[in-house]
Amino acid sequence: MDGSKEMGVGVGLRNVSSHCSISEMDDYDLSRLLDKPRLNIERQRSFDERSLSELSIGLARGGLDNFESTCSPGGRSGFETPASSARNSFEPHPMVADAWEALRRSLVYFRGQPVGTIAAVDHASEEVLNYDQVFVRDFVPSALAFLMNGEPDIVKNFLLKTLYLQGWEKRIDRFKLGEGAMPASFKVLHDPIRKTDTLIADFGESAIGRVAPVDSGFWWIILLRAYTKSTGDLTLAETSDCQKGMKLILTLCLSEGFDTFPTLLCADGCSMIDRRMGVYGYPIEIQALFFMALRCALAMLKPDTEGKEFIERIVKRLHALSYHMRSYFWLDFQQLNDIYRYKTEEYSHTAVNKFNVIPDSIPEWVFDFMPTRGGYFIGNVSPARMDFRWFALGNCVAIMSSLATPEQSMAIMDLLESRWEELVGEMPLKISYPAIESHEWRIVTGCDPKNTRWSYHNGGSWPVLLWLLTAACIKTGRPQIARRAIELAENRLLKDNWPEYYDGKTGRYIGKQARKYQTWSIAGYLVAKMMLEDPSHLGMISLEEDKQMKPALKRSSSWTC
């Protein structure tokens, strides 16, 4: 799991036992919020399909009134047996019932209400560490599973509790963090004597390396949109608290500085890969999540005076970010050949080698790894540096958010198929490829004993990534790839008691420090199964391509870049 799950939480933070200050939202008549009568979902053009040019201030006055939610079937509440199995025309896999039972065992309650799921329920482990906390990124697949099963209440509770925690003062030593920072995790302390529940949060001050989670705020915005799309409940996103929460997050990442690129500059260990792994700079995972969160926020911000300003800034940033990522992070056979032939020390606006990348710095493995048909977004691009490693989460999110063009999305799928043994092997899915080892491992990781070669974040295989892979496969019209991966997982996951990750070049061995009954391994499997069985669920976590997005640089490549 996360490297930050090794320390206690909430050191120096005040204990809060009072009720969340967020008021309960009134129930509005949804028909009053929409400009026109609801039509058949298949015949609608969703808010997300509109071009960004339409969302410039002139047309922004529609706001959330134009957010046409695609509601997942079911509409159930409470925590019961999975609704998805009842809706499907075929018998569910025997693992599904076991997975739901395990997922419900991980529920965390605050004053009688479910507010999240803990990271792992591994009673065999001698040390709990912080696997008994609710992590923002870890809860996302759990939230999607409950939404797809018609159980949105826990997701709403989670969104409100983390929003409440966002308002806390956040300090590390004598430095105060940005107001919009979301917690990495929180814990509920139950006092059986006083009969009180207390929330304690970690904003990075207890994590390995003391790094704030950049991805938490992005996942929160993405999950808010998923809740809105799934339930049709526009009122939650429209509340002043949620609007303020989104704006605080956006203020952090849209602030002006010395940046010459539209990408976000980050420290190592600020996302799922939360230990030192050489992903400092402009990691693909953060850039893809940033892009997706901007598009989700654009769909939910109200066009009041302050909202219009944010909408304008988001639209401009999205155009610049998509151009930058599609042009400079994209790698296929032709682009690799072009980089190999780069000239260096170019000084002018007409420079081809804009980042002054030295061709001799290209690692040998990438020449054999790159198929003639296929491509992917590389791990990092910054001055004189290109990290050619494959990172699964960033590439899958790029497909889901339409950061990748349709041609690039298909190329990523082609790469997965042609390099199946390397990227999937015996247990989906490699979080990164290839592993770094020997001298490079010592320099890049600082001799990290947890990130040894083909283990944990250094080329380990993570079952949670199944849901992201499945979403990408369905969106690109290639569900057979997801089915193949899920079948592989079903051979081992239940028998192995739902491990956190697997080790080895092909993912054959349970990870040396992997927790059992890892919640997001369980939830990731359930979400993948439910999306395959009912592809309409994809709508809550997928964004269609914006037809007006500026095209990327043209290259003599078989793929559009």
CA atoms within 13 A on the CB side of 116: 27
- Give the list of residues 6+ apart from residue 346 with CB closer than 8 angstroms, or none: 352, 353, 356
Say what the pLDDT of residue 433 is. 98
Tokens of 186: 């929180």
Q: 406 to each of 403, 410, 412, 475, how far by Cα in Å? A: 9, 6, 10, 10
How would you class 383 by CB atoms within 10 Å of its CB: exposed for 0-12, middle for 13-18, buried for 19 or more?
Answer: exposed
Residue 191, φ and ψ in degrees, nearest 5:
-105, 100
Packing angle of the helix pair 136-148, 214-231 (nearest 10 deg): 10
Collapsed DSSP state (helix, strand, coil) of residue 18: coil
Per-residue pLDDT of the chain (561 residues; tens, 9 = 90+): 444 454 444 433 333 333 333 333 333 333 333 333 333 333 333 334 444 444 444 434 444 544 443 444 434 333 444 554 444 445 688 899 999 999 999 999 999 999 999 999 987 666 677 799 999 999 999 999 999 999 999 999 999 999 999 998 888 888 888 899 999 999 999 999 999 999 999 998 887 778 889 999 999 999 999 999 999 999 999 999 999 999 999 999 999 889 899 999 999 999 999 999 999 999 999 999 999 999 999 999 999 989 999 999 999 999 999 999 999 999 999 999 999 999 998 888 888 889 999 999 999 999 999 999 999 999 999 999 999 999 999 999 999 999 999 999 999 999 999 999 999 999 999 999 999 999 999 999 999 999 999 999 999 999 999 999 999 999 999 999 999 999 999 999 999 999 999 999 999 999 999 999 999 999 999 999 999 999 999 999 999 988 766 555 444 333 333
- State pLDDT tens for residues 368-393: 999 999 999 999 999 999 999 999 99
Collapsed DSSP state (helix, strand, coil) of residue 198: strand
Contact 363, 433 (CB under 8 A): no
Q: How far apart are CA 96 and CA 6, in angstroms?
A: 30
CA atoms within 13 A on the CB side of 556: 3
Nearest to 232, CA basis, from 293, 147, 137, 114: 147
Q: How far apart are CA 553 and CA 561, in angstroms?
A: 6
How would you class 49 by CB atoms within 10 Å of its CB: exposed for 0-12, middle for 13-18, buried for 19 or more?
Answer: middle
Say what the pLDDT of residue 24 is. 35
Packing angle of the helix pair 519-533, 94-105 (nearest 10 deg): 140
- State pLDDT tens for residues 116-169: 999 999 876 666 777 999 999 999 999 999 999 999 999 999 999 999 999 988
Q: Where are the alpha helices (DSSP H) in 34-93?
A: 83-87
- Give the list of residues 6+ apart from residue 126 with CB closer than 8 angstroms, or none: none
